[in-house]
Amino acid sequence: MNSTSTTHTATEVLARIQEALDAARTIFARFTPGDVATRFKAGDDPVTEADTQVDAALRKILLRPEEGWLSEESVDDPVRLEREWVWIVDPLDGTREFVEGIPEWCVSIGLVRNGEPYAGGICNPVTGEVFVGSVDTGLTQNGKPALSSQRTSMVGAVVLASRSEIKRGEWEQFEGKSFEVKHTGSVAYKLGCVAAGLADATWTLTPKHEWDVAAGVALILSAGGFVSTLDQSPLRFNNRKPKLTGLIAGGAGLKAEILELTRNAKLGQSHR
């Protein structure tokens, strides 16, 4: 790694992100989704050898000495709290889908500056979708400029929802509404799709770790969309306890309607 100070231009940062995503795709090509050895961390969270191999590759490519690092698969180093620039990554978001062979999982790379989302990259190796962007340059999907949904009404909108939350019945409160709810795995992948306007909105009814959403939040802001915490508290990253109450995201023209719709939502089991 370069021991000199890094100049964080959008061009330099996005080049690093793209290199890291390419390396991750190479590693994932060695594994067969749906036929992967799995072990479990605390609780029932699955983890595979792919998670750990990609984590090591991302760290090697992305991290510079003066930067901080927060990853689901790395031991947390509190020095990140003192850093201006911090990488917040999930080498494999949607491990359950990966293990089950459902093509809704991704690599998620976020970069924040003083707690504010700056840039991100999300790649789904199965579908070949690559979302990369920064607040300074905008969003691209597979190299082409993309924007978040331009809708101004939820009538006919597509909302991506957690498979787990739906399975637990937590989305029954939204049945019969004017929008379509689509089951989708990996919160990071959902955010990438919403950022690029492939869906209109998504929200979670359970808390999320920062590494689940940092990249997606950066991409949605880069694409002109809006994001909010579920309780509408200030959204800031690189916290000592890196967990958010939940996340709401969508096209900017839908903000008021979505915030009103979710204001009194019944929360998922992780809140109870």
CATH number at residue 223: 3.40.190.80
CA dist 100 and 181 (Å) reads 22
pLDDT at residue 270, as a whole number: 60
Q: What angle do CA 198, 268, 182 make, to 5 degrees?
A: 25
| Domain end marker among 146, 167, 202 | 146
pLDDT at residue 102, as a whole number: 94
CA dist 203 and 155 (Å) reads 17
CA 142, distance to chain mean position in Å, is: 17
In this structure, is residue 153 part of a structural domain?
Answer: no
CA dist 204 and 150 (Å) reads 21
pLDDT at residue 115, as a whole number: 98
| Domain end marker among 117, 146, 175 | 146
Alpha helix ranges (H) inside the chain: 10-28, 49-62, 95-100, 163-167, 187-195, 210-222, 255-262
pLDDT at residue 264, as a whole number: 86
Q: Is the full-model pTM beyond 0.85? A: yes
CA dist 212 and 109 (Å) reads 9
Co-location of 83 and 127 in the same domain: yes
Q: 111: alpha, beta or left, given left = phi > 0 and alpha = psi -120 to 50?
A: beta
Strand partners for 62? none
pLDDT at residue 43, as a whole number: 56
pLDDT at residue 3, as a whole number: 38
Co-location of 14 and 141 in the same domain: yes
Token pair in block for residue 234: 């200030």
> Do residues 109 and 58 lie in contact, with contact meaning Cβ atoms separated by under 8 Å?
yes
pLDDT at residue 4, as a whole number: 45
Q: Give me the sign of the Cα torsion angle 142, 146, 150, 154.
A: positive
**Total number of domains in the chain:** 2
Residue stretches of the chain with pLDDT short of 50: 1-4, 272
In this structure, is residue 41 part of a structural domain?
Answer: yes
> Do residues 39 and 25 lie in contact, with contact meaning Cβ atoms separated by under 8 Å?
no
CA dist 258 and 16 (Å) reads 34
pLDDT at residue 35, as a whole number: 75
| Residues of the domain holding 50 | 10-146
pLDDT at residue 36, as a whole number: 66
pLDDT at residue 272, as a whole number: 46
